[in-house]
Structure 1
Amino acid sequence: MTELIASIEGTPAGHQAALALALLAAFLHALFGALQKGRHDPWVSRAAIDASYGIIAAPFALFVVPWPEPHMWPIFAGVFAIHVGYKLSQAMCYERGAYTVVYPVVRGTGPLFAVIGAGMIFGEHFNAGQWAGVAVLLSGIYGLALYNLRHVTVNRETMGPALALAVLTGGFVALYTTYDAYGIRATADPFTFLAWFFFIDGWFMPLFTVRRWRNVPASEFVPLIKRGVLGAFVAYFSFGAIMMATRLDRVGEAAVLRETSTVFAALIGWLVLGEKVGPRRTALMALIAAGAVIVELAGGN
């Protein structure tokens, strides 16, 4: 598999694979967000997910994939620190705001900063057509957030801090997207990066939230563990897909395409949570999809 990935990096076949992987990551990331924002405390939900993927990744990191090269350890330290900041801001955001409002703000802020970061770090620059696509996509995402804000009835009193935290979380999304893309390109075997990322990353939230677990009713413990295991596998494929996409092709384009996750989040809210979509939300979701298509077509790939 590693040889196959190396053989298509930077090729048309690699671009097509990156496109499919970014869209897969978009769907799975929306599902991951819904899992964390479910009926349980979002801090504890995230801890259950992280502990699950850390435990499952351990044997692969230690005994299956090649060990990281010496220069990778400082990179992993940076990855760990950035993801800690992301998780803390995300949990505080979900704790204070309605999912259908804060999630689009997080996802809308992320790609804008990620495109800028990709230009600074990897020398990738969008043309005028692609920036127009970003503008269309962001208008749809932020329009969806504003529409949901007008109609939401929960967490109204804490929505201001929640929106500020959503912007901060989006900044962390952009930061980890570009930094992790640098990390997965810095090692010979991308699966080494992925296995060790999940192994290292899985331990902070369980330790940080240990006191909160005392407040979990005994009847909810097993459902939380099940949610954690399910979330772990969603995280593997979601994060793994977007990281492979950034290795195979341009980071900025992958970051933008992933933000169609907002469309998938709205569909999950409609199909699973029974939320109404309506013509206005449908139009806004169409804008998001159109923006992603414009970015892709304007890139000339």
Structure 2
Amino acid sequence: MGEWITSIAGTEQGATLASVLALSAAFLHAVFGALQKGRHDPWISRAAIDICYGLMALPIALFVVPWPDGPLWLALAGAVVIHIVYKVAQAQTYQRGAYIVVYPVVRGSAPFFAVLAAMLVFHERFNAVQWLGLAALTGGIFALAAHNYRKVTVGRETLVPALGWALVTGATVALYTTYDAWGIRLAQNPFTFLAWFFLMDAFFMPIWNMRRLAALPRSELVPLMGRGVIGALVAFASFGSIMIATRIDEVGRAAVLRETSTVFAALVGWLILGEKVGARRAVLMAVIAAGAMIVEFAA
């Protein structure tokens, strides 16, 4: 499987698969964000998810995929540090702001930063039409956040610092997307990078939140770990999809498609949770989707 993925990198088949994987990651990331911003404190939810995906990754890393070589160990260590910064920023964001406001800001800022980083690191170039598509996507996402901001009545006193943290989180999303795309290229088998990343990444949040976990009532442990198992499976699929997409196609295009997660988040709220979309939100969702399609097909 790993050899086949490597063999289709840079081909038309690889580009098509990368688009499918990036859109899958978008949907799954919307689900993952909702899981973390839910019943439990975001710090505790993230710790439970990390514990579960570390345990799941352990046998795969030790017995299934090849072990990393020297340069890949260093790349993995750097990836873990960047993701720690990302997790802290994300938890600070969700702790302070309404999910429907801060999530679009995180996702709206990330693709712009990611495209710039891909230009510097991988020498990718967007043409004028793709930049127009990126502007439509980013502008639509920020407009959606502004629309939601006007409707929020609870916790408005903490929304300004939450929005600041959301921009920081967006920048770290772009940073880890670009860095991890570089790191997975160092691995002969891309699943080596993924398995060992999930294993190494699993330690920080449980250790950091040990007191919070210890103080949790026993009656909450079962639902928390149930959320952790679901979140771990979603994390594997979401992060794995976007990383494979960046391995076989351009990083910038994959990053932009992934940020259609804001559209999927709104659709989940409408179709499953019964939330009203409204004409304005529907138009903004269409603008976001159109921007992503322009970037995809104007290459």
RMSD between superposed Cα atoms in Å: 0.8
Letter in 1 for 2:125: H
Deviation string 1:89-118 (CA, Å, 9 cap, x unpaired) is 000100000000000000011100000000
Tell me the CA shift for residue 6 of structure 1: 1.9
Q: Partner of 2:60 in structure 1?
A: 60
Letter in 1 for 2:71: H
Q: Partner of 1:249 in structure 2?
A: 249
Where does 1:175-214 land on structure 2 (aligned, <5 Å)?
A: 175-214=175-214
Tell me the CA shift for residue 272 of structure 1: 3.6
Q: Larger deviation: 213-222 or 261-270?
A: 213-222
Q: Partner of 2:51 in structure 1?
A: 51
Aligned-partner Cα distance in 2 for 1:147–1:195: 39
Does 2:123 align with 1:139?
A: no
Does 2:19 align with 1:19?
A: yes
Where does 1:1-301 land on structure 2 (aligned, <5 Å)?
A: 1-299=1-299
SS in 1 for 2:68: coil
- Whether the 8 Å CA contact 2:94–2:102 is kept in 1: the answer is yes
Provide the identity percentage.
Answer: 64
Tell me the CA shift for residue 153 of structure 1: 1.8
Tell me the CA shift for residue 265 of structure 1: 1.1
Tell me the CA shift for residue 220 of structure 1: 1.4
Aligned-partner Cα distance in 2 for 1:143–1:273: 22
Tell me the CA shift for residue 269 of structure 1: 2.3
Letter in 2 for 1:52: C
Deviation string 1:221-260 (CA, Å, 9 cap, x unpaired) is 1000000000000000000000000001000000000000
SS in 2 for 1:26: helix
Letter in 2 for 1:268: V
Deviation string 1:107-132 (CA, Å, 9 cap, x unpaired) is 01110000000000000011100000
Aligned-partner Cα distance in 1 for 2:270–2:56: 32
Letter in 1 for 2:180: D
- Whether the 8 Å CA contact 2:3–2:189 is kept in 1: the answer is no
Aligned-partner Cα distance in 2 for 1:275–1:161: 26
Structure 1: 5+ residue runs without aligned partners? none
Tell me the CA shift for residue 268 of structure 1: 2.1
Letter in 1 for 2:101: V
Runs of 4+ in 1 over 4 A off after TM superposition: none
Aligned-partner Cα distance in 2 for 1:103–1:158: 15
Tell me the CA shift for residue 266 of structure 1: 1.2
Aligned-partner Cα distance in 1 for 2:27–2:102: 17
Letter in 1 for 2:136: V
Deviation string 1:152-207 (CA, Å, 9 cap, x unpaired) is 12221100000000000000000000000000011100000000000000111001
Structure 2: 5+ residue runs without aligned partners? none
Letter in 2 for 1:262: T
Give the structure-2-normalised TM-score.
0.98
Tell me the CA shift for residue 274 of structure 1: 3.4
SS in 2 for 1:295: helix
SS in 2 for 1:71: helix
Give the structure-1-normalised TM-score.
0.98
Aligned positions, number: 299
